[in-house]
Amino acid sequence: MPELPEVEVVRSGLAPAMTGARIVSVAVHDERALTRHAAGAADFVARLEGSEVATVARRGKFLWMPLATAAADGCSAIVGHLGMSGQLLLRSPDAAAERHERIRLFVEHPQHGELAVVFADQRTFGSLAVDALVPTADARAAGWGSTEPLIPSQVSHIARDPMDEAFQDGSFRSALRTRSSAIKRVLLDQSLISGVGNIYADESLWAARIHPETPASALSTIAVNRLLAEVRAVLEKALAEGGTSFDAQYVNVNGEAGYFAHSLNAYGRTGQPCPRCGGPIRRDAFMNRSSHLCPRCQRISRRS
């Protein structure tokens, strides 16, 4: 599933083309892409056509585009979640249909002219919706790309991500003191810290020398600070390299793959030597998926 770097690459690619653009028309080819828009395709189209996009924002793995509609309703946004294989692609309006294309938005931009934004999704777990904007809990700007303290209601339960300047390190440390769950499970809890999925959790824990099964409450303040620093370092490096692409689904708005997969130290390297100590990387079962770690470098202890 795309994580923060992959979604941010998409957001930053969409922003120049969509900020200030007017949505001329909408074609819904498959209503399965509207599972989060309960009112259905006709309502989705009616609420978008004639609207202007104010910006493109992101929190964690969610994207949204606040709208100023012809009816002067500025309190809604297009919300996008890529699911496991969703793509948002910029194309010319007359471009041939993409494989697994579900929705196409035809837009006009004052500088870039006519464009098409295509939502394609092979596995159909992703979705688009029009959703109401609600105030953020902390009255701060909602996320990356946003200057307003307004967030889609469907995203309001998602915590800030560690790249967000409004993320509170102290609150995160305090929350860990009350959590007996494994630290990796906590990193994947999007209501506590967002945007970190399986790949970047494994990479961050490896970099911080913390075993994924270490109880969160057993981590010292120093260890938590080290972990947060490594989470940010890993995410920043992945962003610089365009995200992690293992197959054709993980691409930017131009259909190009990221190459952070070549920089992985633990994830997907079962049996290969640890880049730090040379011992073999191990793959353990974890929450219906896997954890990748170095058993020499990452040991469970009561206090880390």
Whether residue 151 is contained in a domain is answered as yes
Instruction: Name the catalytic one among 99, 110, 165, 289.
Output: 289
In this structure, are 109 and 26 located in the same domain? yes
Would the pLDDT of 19 be above 90?
yes
The 3-state secondary structure of 103-139, one letter per residue? EEEEEEECCCEEEEEEEEECCCCCEEEEEEEEECCCC
Q: Is 211 annotated as a binding residue?
A: no
Q: Where are the alpha helices (DSSP H) in 178-255?
A: 183-187, 198-208, 221-240
pLDDT (tens digit per residue) in 229-259? 999 999 998 888 765 543 445 455 555 554 4
Q: Are residues 22 and 131 in the same domain?
A: yes
Of the three residues 125, 155, 185, the one that is the final residue of a domain is: 155
Q: Is residue 54 part of a domain?
A: yes
Answer yes or no: do 141 and 212 share one domain: no
Residue 164 lies in a domain: no
146 located within any domain: yes
Q: Could you say which of 59, 61, 91, 269 is catalytic?
A: 61
Q: Report the domain count for the chain.
A: 2
Show the tokens assigned to 274: 């640890």
Domain boundaries, position 232: 169-293
- For 151-164, the pLDDT digits (tens) are 999 999 999 999 99
What's the chain's average pLDDT? 90
Average of per-residue pLDDT across 273-293? 94
- 122-132 pLDDT, tens digit per residue, is 988 999 999 99
- Is 24 among the domain residues? yes
What is the end-to-end Cα distance of the chain in Å, rounded? 30
pLDDT by residue (tens digit) across 186-221?
Answer: 999 999 999 999 999 999 999 999 999 999 999 999
Per-residue pLDDT at 260 exceeds 50: yes
DSSP class of residue 194 equals: -
Give the pLDDT of residue 151.
97
Is 32 among the annotated ligand-binding positions? no
Q: What is the structure's pLDDT at 96?
A: 96
100 has binding-site annotation: yes
